[in-house]
Amino acid sequence: MKKLLSLLLALTMILPLVGCAAFAENADPIMITVIATSDVHGKVLPINYATGEPSPNVGLSMIASMIEQVRATEKNVILVDGGDTVQGSAMTYYYSYFAPEKDDPMMKALRLMDYDMWCLGNHEFNNDLPILKRQIEYVMSPDNGEEHSVPMSAANFVAQGTEWDSWMGVPYIVKEFEGVKVGVIGMDTPNIPAWEVESHYEGIDFRNLVPTVEHFVPILREQEGCDVVIVVAHSGVEDAVSTDGNNPADYENQVRAMINLTTGIDAVVYGHFHNTDYREDILNAEGKVVPVLAGGGGEGLGFMKLAYDPATKTVTPVTAENGYRFLADQEGLVENQKVATALAPYNEELQAYLDQPLGTATGAFSNENISLQPTALMDLLNKAQLSAVPAQLSICAPLTSGANVRDLIPAGDVPMRLLYQLYVFENWLYRVNMTGEQLRLWLEHATTNYTSASNPDYLGGGYYTDEIYGLYYEIHYYAPEGQRIQNMQYQGQPVAPDQVFSVVMNNYRFTGGAGFMQAAGLTPEDYSLTDLYTGDTLGNDNGQVRNILAQYIRDQKEITPTVESTWQFFRTKEDAIAAGAKVVE
């Protein structure tokens, strides 16, 4: 009898398990849909603040309507933002600096749209650290009416003095859909110290993406019981991978290394490149395909559907549906009224600020061929920099070379709004002592940036083709690298290699941005080279380049598009011969 009872008891325990196994074997895959934005750069409303005109193909209030459509048709939706969110528009700058007592409009939009995660980007650190902390505290604050708390994640930004404690926010979130647990880790590029002044990232230890994944994926899998793990990273997909994830070949961009050198990640959403691609060509350390989705640049919504199979516990991308969906392709899409209405008072106050008159332009300042010849526009920027930082020379990049508008400053009244198109970043200025040889190497480095691997036929550069105001020099582009800069002169005299000059440059260059300091043989953030910083002399608002330019125009009252720079660009030997220059053989 005891044996019979034992057998019956065993059967009662086994039968449910058999039933579960049969259910799992026959269960349909559970669909998880990830939708993503990234690199929105302050584009919260569909408005071009430089002109005041509608811009219906960008902005979170338009994207919010797309999100509503996805949520209405898909069951298990995760909404994330991949960073570079609160920098880049007049809206976000104004409410960062001029109205700190008000809720940040970009953070308000994220809360109204019920994001599941906000991942930091490098441009979040452009402003003073108290501004960023204020934004994080607000976006993560408790639900309030139609606003919902949004977790901020930067798992690889660790509080100094700790092993893996988050600097702020949370390292990951866990969502559950139909019994399936999904873990999402947020990360940011660890290259921020190469771009920002130290006070903007005080208290943070920066970790690479590979060791961060190796630390947190086991926690999500083993402790949190996650079936699916997704990474949201504000870091690009690099071309080459170091075999050591602790010392990646590309410190700024580490997504490929993060996938190649680890296991346990099922999908990745990335930002930083402003890309809109979707790819399935990157394999993890076990040879498994990890789908990768770009979050774009505020002009639409990344979409990635994943199928989780309960029987095999595997995740498969639903390739046919995955990709980027542009606002421009959505027929009949209208602005989300909840977001638009909440931000209308912000926009009204902002417009009054943007309409303030600065002065008058007697003619148009064009950006045509701005990287290939001296222009009044670049001279204006450099003269403004020198008005705030007395120096012999000024370095500036043609930030507007890719702009669709040719005349960045038309003839006539010059309102504040135009400057947000003319100088799009928040930068401050340093005065740095450099030798003639270091200046030559700086310009040589600029000549390597006129074309790129992705666009070898484009000649004109952009953010990385710096010009030096106050020097005469010749760019012989046809010559071998290292011999392209010739005939450097200062006030009509040849520049000696050891001749020392005082030079004004922005903090992005001084801290190592785009490798110019290193190319010139200088150590980024070598404070022995500098004796002036406009963040100290003028303050963090007035010392910012855009506001320096605004003050310069106010002081001048009238600006005229005259070209004073005389440097020359020769694409071919024939160009040099025609100009009477000595040809480089």
Q: Which of 461, 559, 541, 571 is nearest to 131 (CA)?
A: 541
Mean pLDDT of the chain, nearest integer: 92
What is the tens place of the pLDDT at every residue in 412-424?
Answer: 999 999 998 888 8
Residue with tokens 């008891």: 9
In this structure, the number of other CB atoms found within 10 A of the CB of residue 405 comes to 16
Burial environment of residue 326 by CB neighbours within 10 A (0 to 12, 13 to 18, 19 or more): middle
The pLDDT assigned to 455 comes to 60
CB 177 within 8 A of CB 32: yes
The pLDDT assigned to 513 comes to 87
pLDDT cut 90: percent of the chain above it: 83
pLDDT cut 70: percent of the chain above it: 93
What is the tens place of the pLDDT at every residue in 549-558?
Answer: 999 999 999 9
Given pLDDT bands bounded at 50, 70 and 90, which one contains residue 407?
confident
The pLDDT assigned to 310 comes to 96
The pLDDT assigned to 374 comes to 96
Stretch 517-542: mean pLDDT: 94
Judged against a pLDDT cut of 80, whether residue 306 lies above it is answered with yes
d(CA 525, CA 193): 9
The pLDDT assigned to 367 comes to 87
d(CA 89, CA 439): 32
The pLDDT assigned to 540 comes to 87
Judged against a pLDDT cut of 60, whether residue 545 lies above it is answered with yes
Judged against a pLDDT cut of 60, whether residue 25 lies above it is answered with no
Given pLDDT bands bounded at 50, 70 and 90, which one contains residue 359?
very high
Judged against a pLDDT cut of 50, whether residue 7 lies above it is answered with no
DSSP 8-state class, residue 240: S
The pLDDT assigned to 405 comes to 66
Residue with tokens 């694409």: 571
Given pLDDT bands bounded at 50, 70 and 90, which one contains residue 243?
confident
**Which three-class secondary structure string do you get for 334-394?**
CCCHHHHHHHHHHHHHHHHHHCCEEEEECCCEECCCCCCCCCHHHHHHHHHHHHHCCCCEE
The pLDDT assigned to 1 comes to 45
Stretch 134-138: mean pLDDT: 98
User: Higher pLDDT residue, 292 or 1?
Assistant: 292
Helix, strand or coil for residue 126? coil
Q: Which of 234, 185, 192, 236 is nearest to 211 (CA)?
A: 185
The pLDDT assigned to 184 comes to 98
The pLDDT assigned to 447 comes to 94
CB 219 within 8 A of CB 174: no
The pLDDT assigned to 12 comes to 45
What is the tens place of the pLDDT at every residue in 152-205?
Answer: 999 999 999 999 999 999 999 999 999 999 999 999 999 999 888 889 999 999
Judged against a pLDDT cut of 60, whether residue 261 lies above it is answered with yes
**What global pTM score does this model have?**
0.86
User: Higher pLDDT residue, 399 or 163?
Assistant: 163
Judged against a pLDDT cut of 70, whether residue 453 lies above it is answered with no
Given pLDDT bands bounded at 50, 70 and 90, which one contains residue 24?
very low
CB 95 within 8 A of CB 102: yes
The pLDDT assigned to 19 comes to 36
Judged against a pLDDT cut of 50, whether residue 315 lies above it is answered with yes
* Residues 6+ away with beta carbon under 8 Å from 4: none
Rg of the chain (C-alpha set):
27
Stretch 27-43: mean pLDDT: 96
Lowest-confidence region among 292-306, 443-457, 561-575: 443-457
What is the tens place of the pLDDT at every residue in 319-348?
Answer: 999 999 999 999 999 999 999 999 999 999
CB 61 within 8 A of CB 341: no
DSSP H helix total and E strand total for the chain: 16, 31
